[in-house]
Structure 1
């Protein structure tokens, strides 16, 4: 999971504009992502939180707070710590959704939070949250079938479900290939919007072969 996080951070950092005419918001976002890239994820998360206090109409800082807290919850065995992180992630992704409803990027993070709970205790959370994730990925795909992160994330979820039930993952490997085709032409809405996923898709495709 750490390797995935590093890949995501590198991609996020690469998406920030390097121009001299950055706004204070852009400068703050860039600094927060640099902290994450320097392996200081929770300092980064705290800085994103300070940005949200000033930029109340921006969904991206909430998105990144949720993303950091969700990703760094995988492998946490202390339930109190896990609960604090995932509740923080949930709070901020809900704030992001209020600002930007029906946003497929946000739906992916909501599903990631659920997956972290399932990874912690599948017996307790698996059935109910798996159903919710299926709905989230279905909605995200309906909203943005050409978004490579949506296609990749849904494919990975479907592959995990197939493995759990002893079914073939081959159909979903084709979806991963499709996501790579989409990454080749995808243009983010701005330099600060999510653009991660290509390296992860390549890694997953290797496991298919």
Structure 2
């Protein structure tokens, strides 16, 4: 009995230590990202992902860091490296956590980065794909503010492209902003971005 108790205590201590390493690593990666050290942040998230093969979040953040860094990139080769890596890690995250609305949004953002780079080449095929992704995300999580905001922004962009009024989607942005006040997750490091962006978009609506 004493040996069993000792083993339980030992395993608990190992788990706490591993969790501490995870927390420290994630905090450090976010700090590097905040300092705009994109490559370093991506590499650290990647190392954490390797150590946490059943956790979709580090894979998600490798994908997100590289996607966000690709917007505005003018060099096709550099863009391709970032977005191919983003897609590679996203695919692993999706395998770990299927039907995850946060991952559907992330996939749509990768597509949007390609469209932003060259709409003539990628717009037709990826635009339709994004419509499907956002619709599916809305089915899965109709009260997730990031889902509502992201879909609204996509719909606004489509409306502008076709010369239509974007005002109808401002109500969706307003709803997203309201939901940001109450939406939360008990999962450490669960995505929380979007509130400031919603405020900016809503301000532009006015």
Aligned-residue offset at 1:23:
1.9
Hey, what's the Cα distance between the residues in 1 that align with 2:110 and 2:98? 18
1:1-209 maps to which residues of 2 (within 5 A)? 23-209=20-206
Secondary structure (helix, strand or coil) at the match of 1:72 reads helix
Hey, what's the Cα distance between the residues in 2 that align with 1:159 and 1:42? 32
Hey, what's the Cα distance between the residues in 2 that align with 1:143 and 1:89? 23
When the two structures are aligned, how many residues end up with a matched partner?
189
Hey, what's the Cα distance between the residues in 2 that align with 1:85 and 1:37? 18
Hey, what's the Cα distance between the residues in 2 that align with 1:167 and 1:173? 13
Post-superposition, which runs of at least 4 consecutive aligned residues in structure 1 deviate over 4 A?
none
Aligned-residue offset at 1:35:
0.7
Hey, what's the Cα distance between the residues in 1 that align with 2:128 and 2:38? 30
* Aligned CA-pair RMSD: 1.1
Deviations along 1:145-186, whole A, 9 cap, x unmatched?
A: 000000000000000000000111111000000001111111
Give the structure with the higher percent helix: 2
Secondary structure (helix, strand or coil) at the match of 2:192 reads coil
Greater Rg, structure 1 or structure 2?
A: 2
Hey, what's the Cα distance between the residues in 2 that align with 1:142 and 1:199? 24
Aligned-residue offset at 1:191:
3.2
Aligned-residue offset at 1:190:
2.1
Q: TM-score, normalised by structure 1?
A: 0.88
Aligned-residue offset at 1:22:
5.7
Deviations along 1:102-122, whole A, 9 cap, x unmatched?
A: 000011110000000000100
Structure 2 unaligned spans of 5+: 1-17
